[in-house]
Amino acid sequence: MTGSAYSTVTDGFSQNIGNDSSLNVLTDFTNTTSHLVVSTTGSPATVFTMEAAQPSYPLYCQGPLTTPAAQVPTPTTVFQWAATGAGAEPPGPGQCAWADRTGRGSEIHPGDTGIIFGYLNQVANLPAGQYAEIDVYNDSGFGNDLNVTQIVGFVSPPFSPTP
């Protein structure tokens, strides 16, 4: 399902999420049914997208991470996989990890990298020394990128493995 919305206040399609930290992507964060994602595009329009249900898990990252602006259709953020899970040791600069382990198998792209697919908004271009939690799932239908379901935001270690 897709759709768009017209603003009667601005008399046009005027919103743009991109990497604007003052705007948020809205997602119904359920893991038992499909997700409804509301965002805007570079050609200002509100977009409604339905995605299949996927359980998502917290990914912990430390900046610096760069999220390119205005990628079409959706931005991708490349990171290095940490050597251990974030619960054992916080990820190093430019690295991400699951709480209980590092990346493995199809999650790992060439150069021991991972790819976050989606709008990161307030944690886009994560500054050096700051940590963020991003809830994602491994999208086997889209190059095994880690598809964003929720931006938890800025966090601090220690990080606990999910029970």
Cα–Cα separations (whole angstroms), residue 110 to 80, 84, 134: 10, 18, 22
| Three-state DSSP state, 39 | strand
**Residue 19, pLDDT above cutoff 50:** no
Q: Give the least confident one: 79-88, 97-106, 154-163.
A: 154-163
**Residue 78, pLDDT above cutoff 60:** yes
Other beta carbons less than 10 A from residue 6's beta carbon: 11
Helix (H) or strand (E) holding 153: strand 145-155
In whole numbers, what is the pLDDT of the chain averaged over residues?
A: 78
Domain boundaries, the chain: 57-155
**Residue 154, pLDDT above cutoff 80:** yes
**Residue 34, pLDDT above cutoff 80:** no
DSSP state of 122: G
